[in-house]
Structure 1
Amino acid sequence: MSPDQQRPDQSKADRSKADHRTRLTVFVALAANLVIALAKAVGGVVAGSPALLSEAAHSVADSLNEVFLLAALRRSRRPPDTRHPFGYGKERFFWALLAAVGIFVMGGCFSFFQGVEALRDGAQEKLSGYVAGLVVLGVALLAEGASLYRAVHQARGEDRGLRDPALRTVIAEDGTAVLGVCLAIAGMALHMVTGQVVWEASASLAIGALLVFVAYRLGADARDQLIGEAADPELSDRIREQLAAEPEIVSVEALFTMRLGLETTMVAARIDLVPGLDSEEVEEVLVRIKGALAETFTEAGQIFLDVTDRSAQEARESPAATGERGGA
């Protein structure tokens, strides 16, 4: 097998391994959130704690989102077909958008509801279950912290890092969960010390605001990618430089890129070739340039080159076409 054949195969194998690690990270987060959600829900009902119930809703939302992310990892690797000739890479962005909606609705809105209800009902007399609730939150903090550490460690160890929407969502969820648990602990502890439920209600409202903010950021990123986000400027500049360096290309009139998935980018360029090439020579040049681009930029899954009609362009710019006349 030639080196040119080995490189795409190696890149595909690397992507498969990265997906396997991401899938394992999501499974770890899912298992942790399911156990934590059950513990928080039971503790919240026993203690009557709005902050603990808000955190239970937060964990339930995270668990559902991890299911979405697992679906994204599986479905986004389907090969192109006649109905989707550019592949299914954007499945990751779609399921990441659903995860953001889940965080907003199930986590943020319920947390706001719990905070408002606590403020309306006033102080509660029964605080005996709060000690057990704080223990539950302490265990949850350790579990969420371990899941966050794994996700961050994986992101740092991979080239694609936070470009993976599944991995980025897990990090956002776990990071928000750690901060949310800290807010819940503070609210419950202050409620126990002062007897004022306003502290715990404020913690629930703060958790809700935090979840709404995270959901907005994740949703905005997914939206940009779904409607057609360009490749990184650095990648576009490198592609333009390589095209401009080709001896048969006079100029690169336009360059367009769009991310089709996590590691797949569409490249479309309008180029001006040197004059004097016949149709067969033009075809050979385009095939060679496309092959060189695909070899250098493995993420360029689709490459389109449009050759400008130089003779027509010169005719349009000639003095006769523009109505100019020379002097006598």
Structure 2
Amino acid sequence: MAGGSKLVIYAALAGNAAIAVTKFVAAGMTGSSAMLSEAIHSVVDTGNQVLLLFGLARAKRPPDAEHPYGYGMEVYFWSFVVAILIFGLGAGVSFYEGLLHLRAPEPPTSYRINYIVLGLAMLFEGASWLIALREMNRIKGRRTLWQAVQRSKDPSMFTVLFEDSAALLGLFIAFLGLLASQHLGWHWADGAASIGIAAVLALAAAGLAHETRSLLIGEAAAPETRAAIRQMIADEVVVERINELRTIHLGPENVLANISLDFRDDAALADVEGTVNRLEARIREAYPEFKYIFIEAQAREEMMGQPFGTRTGP
């Protein structure tokens, strides 16, 4: 999954960097507010891809004394920073630029240049969006796209999808603003398009922040994964019952599992040890992302007085 994430990010980085330069040139030549907002949007997106790559690189650092479970959650942190930048810089500056042009609307000096740049930007953004969508479709299985985003533990993947979707919608809004200014004489429409772009970016940032916040707080492994692990445990004859099965993602490919089992009273110590070793091996073979697995033997009666001791949640 990490390789797919990097492919998506590199594609978006290359496209946004080229588009940003082109948009700034067009905005400077034509004076279009919507084009300037789009140029700022592309710069923010380019910076965001750099931050995502930085987060992926830091997440690969091995565990140490200060972070015994590794640095996988760096990806979640930097994805949240990206959401803040989209809202603060992308949406904020676009909204401000739109207000200025609403107060003093002026028509662009060249509609043709703006249309050419918007058309090229749509092609580049569309190519990046298709790459991100293809990767999401590859991993989503039978889920819908939105369900795949909600279940995804790799924010770098859906962050690019969010950004590119917002970019394509923003380009369409900029195109409508230019059309209204040119053919209807509504020169204020250019500034209104900037505000519309700001609204799109704000919504994209809110959706991205919501998803990354959940990952930062700590999300469990997928329900089907937990169900499969429960079935593995049920296959073991010396296990009486599951007291607890808790999992948490410490990164896109780094999961911790804490399992408490009540073994049969007549089970020999060798059988208990063999069961623990076998379960750890089976779980890791089926789900390599489970880097840390802790299995303890504990009588159910001993847990009754402990907080949340009787729960068998995530």
Q: What is the TM-score when the length of structure 1 is the normalising length?
A: 0.83
Out of 39-48 and 169-178, give the one that drifted further. Answer: 39-48
Judged with a 3 Å threshold, the aligned counterparts in structure 2 of structure 1 residues 313 and 59 are, in CA distance, closer, same or farther, namely: closer
Contact preservation (8 Å) 1:151, 1:167: yes
The answer to whether structure 1 residue 115 and structure 2 residue 98 are counterparts is yes
Note if 1:239 corresponds to 2:224.
no
* Distance (Å, rounded) in 2 between the aligned partners of 1:20 and 1:35: 23
Whichever residue aligns with residue 298 of structure 1, its letter is P
Q: Could you say if the C-alpha distance between residues 130 and 287 of structure 1 is closer, same or farther in structure 2, counting changes exceeding 3 Å?
A: same
Structure-2 change in CA distance of 1:312 and 1:64 (3 Å): closer
Query: Following TM superposition, by how much is the alpha carbon of 1:284 offset from its aligned partner in structure 2, in angstroms?
Result: 3.5
Q: By how many angstroms is 1:221 displaced?
A: 1.1
Q: How does 1:163-202 map to 2 (within 5 A)?
A: 163=152, 164-202=154-192
2:41 maps to a residue whose letter is H
**Residues 87-123 of structure 1: per-residue CA shift (max 9 Å, x gap):** 22212111111111111111111111112112212x3
Partner of 2:279: helix, strand, or coil?
helix
Corresponding residue of 1:43: 26
What residue number does 1:90 align with? 73
Indicate how the Cα distance of structure 1 residues 289 and 37 shifts in structure 2: closer, same or farther if over 3 A, else same. same
Offset, 1:82? 2.2
Alignment of 1:206-245 (within 5 A): 206-245=196-235
Supply the AA of the counterpart residue of 1:148.
W
Aligned to 1:8: none
What amino acid maps onto 2:169 in structure 1?
L
Out of 69, 72, 86, the position equivalent to 1:103 is 86
The one-letter amino acid paired with 2:53 is L
> What secondary structure, in the 3-state scheme, does the structure 1 residue paired with 2:244 have?
strand
* Alpha-carbon distance in structure 1 between the residues aligned to 2:91 and 2:34: 12
Partner SS state of residue 251, structure 2: coil
Identity %: 35
Q: In the alignment, is residue 133 of structure 1 matched against residue 114 of structure 2?
A: yes
2:277 matched residue in structure 1: 287
Matched, 1:157 2:138: yes
Backbone CA RMSD of aligned residues: 2.2
For the residue of structure 1 that corresponds to 2:246, the secondary structure is: strand
**Contact map agreement 2:243 2:300 (CA 8 A) in 1:** no
Q: Which residue of 2 aligns with 1:269?
A: 259
Distance 2:168 2:283 in 1: 44
Q: Secondary structure at the match of 1:247?
A: coil
Q: How many angstroms apart in 1 are the aligned matches of 2:300 and 2:242?
A: 13
Q: Gaps spanning 5+ residues in structure 2: where?
A: 142-147, 306-314
TM-score, reference length from structure 2 = 0.87
Please tell me whether the aligned partners of residues 286 and 305 of structure 1 are also in contact (alpha carbons under 8 angstroms).
yes
Between the two proteins, the alignment pairs up a number of residues equal to 296
Q: Give me the whole-angstrom Cα distance separating, in 2, the residues matched to 1:203 and 1:46.
A: 18
Matches within 5 A, 1:310-325: none
Q: What residue number does 2:288 align with? A: 298
- What's the secondary structure of 1:260's corresponding residue? strand
> Residue 309 of structure 1 aligns with which residue?
299
* CA distance in 1 between partners of 2:15 and 2:300 (Å): 63
Deviations 1:288-326 (A, max 9, x none): 322232223322211112322357579x9xxxxxxxxxx
- Which ranges of structure 1 fall in alignment gaps of 5 or more residues? 1-17, 317-328
Give secondary structure in 2 for the equivalent of 1:186: helix
In structure 2, what is the Cα distance between the partners aligned to 1:177 and 1:208? 11
Q: Secondary structure at the match of 1:139?
A: helix
CA deviations 1:10-69 (Å, max 9, x no partner) are xxxxxxxx4334323322211211121111112112222111111111101100001011
1:58 and 1:83 map into 2 onto residues whose CA distance is 37
Q: Deviations over 1:163-216 (max 9, x none)?
A: 221121111111111111111011011111122233222211111111011111
1:64·1:102 contact (CA, 8 Å) conserved in 2? Answer: no
Distance, in Å, in 2 between the alignment partners of 1:236 and 1:186 is 48
